[in-house]
Amino acid sequence: MKEEIVVRPARNSDREAVFKFCEKTWSWGDYIPQFWDKWMKETDGKIFVATISSVPVGMSHVRVDKRKKEAWLSAARTAPEHRRKGIATAIAKECMKYAKRNGAVKARLVTSSDNKAARIVLQKLGFTPIAEFVEMKTEKIRRLDSLKSRWGRAEDLNALWKFLQESNIFQRSAGLYTILFRWYSLTREDLERFLREKKAIVYEGDAQIQGLILIDDSTARMWQENTLQTCYVDGSREAIIDMLSFLLTRCFEAGTRKVYGFACNDESLVSTMKEVGFEAPEGVEIVYEKEL
């Protein structure tokens, strides 16, 4: 007899059962316990849990950006002994229903290129791969010469937006940037915020902007590390080397110990980042999208 799968919003009483089947997600455990309480309190998101015989056997989290009308699905987990029963599919469908009810017109998520099982499920659900990204990192924080890079200014907004619209990397990135393994559409408003918060590095050559790196320090707050990350990297080899040199010098001055380099999976871009001391990526992350 087929076991009935029931999908419902998570309850506080689910936490121990969920944490138990998440214990061995990775060698070090899982980040779910760190975010559970925060996610449970969200007004723009929801945790959904799947149960069999009233026992939690799977979960996922969905969050809706109502301004952009986008939903982000993450933290899909299934108890090892209950895999291949359609649990992940059932939860994903419920997440998308929630997203649509709350104004989202598209849903996105990310999975690693070597997660073949997840990719098969996503294809069946109607998701399409739209962009590939890598995570690199370096602890080689030092002073480096930088000749044409500087912090972006508010008056750079129009020139930067024009640069992005004409950028091959921006197209290959599907117009996305990332913070902590969540990818967002990069709008003019976002770019203006990065400039205002002094989190945009620009490369200016021949009196025009020819490169852009966006950064964020959420890694320091969330992972309790003295780190930061790149959210978007774009430009020629010369521009990227110069901007990363500027960034690493500022990190050295601030005492930052590590930089996570999130970037589009572009061979030339990855090779250039390695020149500056970033370690080769261990894998490729694929962002999928579905119209709701």
Shared domain for 150 and 90, answered yes or no, is no
Query: Between helices 267-275 and 237-254, what is the axis angle to 10°?
Result: 40
Whether residue 150 sits in one domain with residue 231: yes
Q: What is the pLDDT of residue 206?
A: 85
Same-domain check for residues 94 and 213: no
CATH code for the domain of 266 = 3.40.630.30
**Helix, strand or coil for residue 32?**
helix
Please report whether residue 41 resides in a domain: yes
126 lies in a domain? Answer: no
Range of the domain at 263: 134-282
Buried b (16+ CB within 10 A) or exposed e, 28-67: eebbbeebbeebbeeeebbbbbbbbeeebbbbbbbbbbee
**Cβ-Cβ contacts under 8 Å for 196 (sequence gap 6 or more):** 154
pLDDT at 286 over 80: yes
Longest dimension (CA), the chain: 72
> Is the residue at 154 inside a domain?
yes
Last residue of a domain, one of 55, 84, 104: 104
Terminal alpha carbon distance of the chain: 33
Same domain for 277 and 138? yes
Average pLDDT over residues 137-165: 98
pLDDT at 11 over 80: yes
Rounded-to-integer distance, Cα 291 and Cα 203, Å: 36
pLDDT for position 28: 84
How does the average pLDDT of the chain come out, rounded? 96
Asked if 151 and 53 sit in the same domain, the reply is: no
Q: Considering its fold, how many domains does the chain have in total? A: 2
CA nearest neighbour of 262 among 125, 110, 155: 110
pLDDT at 2 over 90: no
Q: Could you tell me the pLDDT band of residue 25, with boundaries at 50, 70 and 90?
A: confident
Is 127 inside a domain boundary?
no
Provide the token pair at 222: 């969330």
Give the per-residue pLDDT at 1: 58
